[in-house]
Structure 1
Amino acid sequence: MKKLSLFSLTLACVCGFGFGFGSCSDNAAPESETQSTSVSTGKIAAAPWVKQFEDTFNVGSNLSQWTKEQRSDYNSWYCDYNSSVPTTQWRDGKQCLEIKTTKLSTYKYQSGFISSNYQYKPENNTEYMLSANIKLIAMDGGNYKSFTETYGAWPAFWSVQGNGWPTKGEIDIMEGYSFAPNASRFASNLFYGTAVGTNLLGNTAERNYPGNFDVNGNNGWHLYESFWKMKDNVVTITIKIDNVTVATYTNSSAPNLNLNNFGAHSIIFNVNVGSKDSSFIDPNKINLFSTVMMWVDDVTVYKRPI
């Protein structure tokens, strides 16, 4: 998840990137009006892929494979993470992880952040595939709104080694930014540095999704994937959306990048609100209606020899 200032980087280092998320089941919110037509993009993981990790977020799950965050976001003055926010819900006829934002006051929002206890990185001549089916949506009272109608939401699906950030790297599979009435923006990104708290890449590794990416397509459900491999000690990271490649990273993709130094990563889902940079996200324009939500139908990690 993008780090916008040296202050936030240093704070991340001092606080140690505690990770988070909670459980329980709350069925108060209605399901999507179009649930009968929703079909998540299928995953292809035939042999020689072997499953290493999975969570289907069954309703009633205590999310024991995850750690819940209770803190302010490092990149925003306006978002606090509460460990009670993440829940498991029936949404669009699916059992999902739900991360929901709530407006607490004019300039303060509550949201959620969850990190897997499971960690992974490729050994030489292996490849890992991290996949999640995700939907982003908003609500205005009892009425559903498109994510694209909101302003100031910042959801993310990423992996990171938090200890000593960013010396063991960070892989942002999806970062979404809502800027209504202008177009929303989605991107992948990498972060890396040789000293704790100092990102050497800036945003030189950021890759915007193609202009034809429609977050509302397929009833809002999309398959987000990261392929992380090491072949003969050469590391490559590929990001795909709905089975279409949107970014491929090697050490030559950005100055100072060294993918060989990336460490074992945890998997993270969170929804940030606002930013510490008012020229990036204007706090006076934030509009999430009643709530913005991230629904995660499932997340898996597969491994294969190459």
Structure 2
Amino acid sequence: MRKVNTITLLLTCFLGFSSCAENALKEEKKADTNAKESTQKVAGSPWVKQFEDTFDVGSGLSQWTKEQRADYNSWYCDYSSSVPTTQWRDGKQCLEIKTTKLNAYKYQSGFITSNYQYKPENNTEYMLSANIKLIAMDGGTYKSFKDTYGAWPAFWSVQGNGWPTKGEIDIMEGYSFAPNASRFTSNIFYGTSVGANLLGNAAERNYPANFNVDGNNGWHLYESFWRMKDNVVTVTIKVDNITVATYTNGSVSNLNFNNFGTHSIIFNINVGSKDSNFIDPNKINLFTTVMMWVDDVTVYKRPI
């Protein structure tokens, strides 16, 4: 994120109005406080940054692959490579993924996969973090994600080749079931044969009951901590620094984190489902659009 050059601002104010310097310092302090409230990332020593994208407007998303295909889990959603863009939103430079209704039962959306991949070696830990906001629009009016029905945004990591034999870690999966309802979960998928998930949804964990997607102006910090200590793997999912779930091989029958491969990072918004009992296609209502804004995404690594 770009910030105003404080030195230039102070010099200008000093020459023009003596009180401006004090106001500028107050504004800078306020901006820093707001930034900390938004991100609250803990990445001091011994954490070392491995990957970052701040989604500067005009950057072209060169660190990502933009998918062009139908969604695997829904009859109603196609991904277009033209959808993921960088935009100024809420005064931040963001990745924006938005939905568009093409006809009664077809929606266009976006799906991006990082070219960067990671996996902890023994006695190391990785921290994957992203600041995300989910919002809808009805014409020129903003609507809550909770007012929509049938939206399915996600922030996750996966080794796509040979899925699910190299694992999948879902940090955030959101589901909208209006009126005024939504559900957020984490999940893990794994199997020993291509196309066959052995876990079902046994690893799905609901977010805390008091999680409010509209809180903090809609911005939330979503994190995955993936570590291997003496060949024992632990994955911890957090939202706004609150633990959602902690997984080990013993958490779910048939789970084997030690067989997970290197993972890419994914952001997408699916619409609907192939299971009409889960998401009724006749009830889908995304107003004009549902959007995912991602302020930044980072990966840090440390020895443990």
Q: 2:56 is matched with which residue?
A: 58
Q: Is 1:79 aligned to residue 77 of structure 2?
A: yes
Secondary structure at 2:117's aligned position in 1? strand
Q: Distance in 2 between matches of 1:147 and 1:38?
A: 24
Contact 1:155–1:272 (CA under 8 A) maintained in structure 2:
yes
1:182 Cα shift?
5.4
1:148 Cα shift?
0.3
Q: Distance in 1 between matches of 2:157 and 2:120?
A: 13
Q: 2:207 is matched with which residue?
A: 209
Q: How many residues align?
A: 271
Q: 2:142 is matched with which residue?
A: 144
Q: Which is higher, the Rg of structure 1 or of structure 2?
A: 2
Q: Is 1:135 aligned to residue 127 of structure 2?
A: no
Q: Distance in 2 between matches of 1:185 and 1:40?
A: 22
Taking only the aligned residue pairs, the percentage that are identical comes to 86
1:40 Cα shift?
1.7
Q: Distance in 2 between matches of 1:243 and 1:37?
A: 15
Q: 2:106 is matched with which residue?
A: 108
Moved runs in structure 1, 4+ residues, more than 4 A? 36-39
Q: 2:277 is matched with which residue?
A: 279
Q: Distance in 1 between matches of 2:111 and 2:35?
A: 29
Q: How does 1:156-171 map to 2 (within 5 A)?
A: 156-171=154-169
1:234-283 alpha-carbon deviations (Å, 9 max, x no partner): 00000000011010000011110000000000000000000000000000
Whichever structure has more helix as a proportion of its residues is 2
Secondary structure at 2:108's aligned position in 1? strand
Secondary structure at 1:53's aligned position in 2? strand
Q: Which moved more, 1:40-49 or 1:80-89?
A: 40-49
1:41 Cα shift?
2.7
Q: Distance in 2 between matches of 1:160 and 1:253?
A: 19
1:44 Cα shift?
1.2
Q: Distance in 1 between matches of 2:64 and 2:181?
A: 33
Q: 2:303 is matched with which residue?
A: 305
1:120-177 alpha-carbon deviations (Å, 9 max, x no partner): 0000000000000000000000000000000000000000000000000000000000
Which among 253, 256, 267 is matched to residue 255 of structure 1?
253
Give the gaps of 5 or more residues in structure 2. 1-33
Secondary structure at 2:146's aligned position in 1? helix
1:39 Cα shift?
5.2
Give the gaps of 5 or more residues in structure 1. 1-35
Which among 244, 247, 250 is matched to residue 246 of structure 1?
244
Q: 1:91 is matched with which residue?
A: 89
1:184-218 alpha-carbon deviations (Å, 9 max, x no partner): 00000000000000000000000000110000000
**Which amino acid counterpart does residue 145 of structure 2 have in structure 1?**
F
Q: Is 1:222 aligned to residue 220 of structure 2?
A: yes
1:84-111 alpha-carbon deviations (Å, 9 max, x no partner): 0000000000000000000000000000
1:42 Cα shift?
2.2
Contact 1:39–1:219 (CA under 8 A) maintained in structure 2:
no
Q: 1:194 is matched with which residue?
A: 192
Q: 1:25 is matched with which residue?
A: none
**Which amino acid counterpart does residue 272 of structure 1 have in structure 2?**
N
Q: Is 1:295 aligned to residue 281 of structure 2?
A: no
Q: Distance in 2 between matches of 1:68 and 1:142?
A: 27
Secondary structure at 1:119's aligned position in 2? coil
1:37 Cα shift?
10
Question: What's the TM-score once normalised by structure 2's chain length?
Answer: 0.88
**Which amino acid counterpart does residue 90 of structure 2 have in structure 1?**
D
Contact 1:41–1:223 (CA under 8 A) maintained in structure 2:
yes
Secondary structure at 1:256's aligned position in 2? coil
**Which amino acid counterpart does residue 243 of structure 2 have in structure 1?**
T
Q: 2:65 is matched with which residue?
A: 67
Q: Is 1:183 aligned to residue 181 of structure 2?
A: yes
1:181 Cα shift?
1.4
Coordinate RMSD, CA, aligned: 1.2
Question: What's the TM-score once normalised by structure 1's chain length?
Answer: 0.87
Secondary structure at 1:40's aligned position in 2? helix
**Which amino acid counterpart does residue 91 of structure 2 have in structure 1?**
G
Secondary structure at 2:217's aligned position in 1? helix
Q: Distance in 2 between matches of 1:247 and 1:226?
A: 10
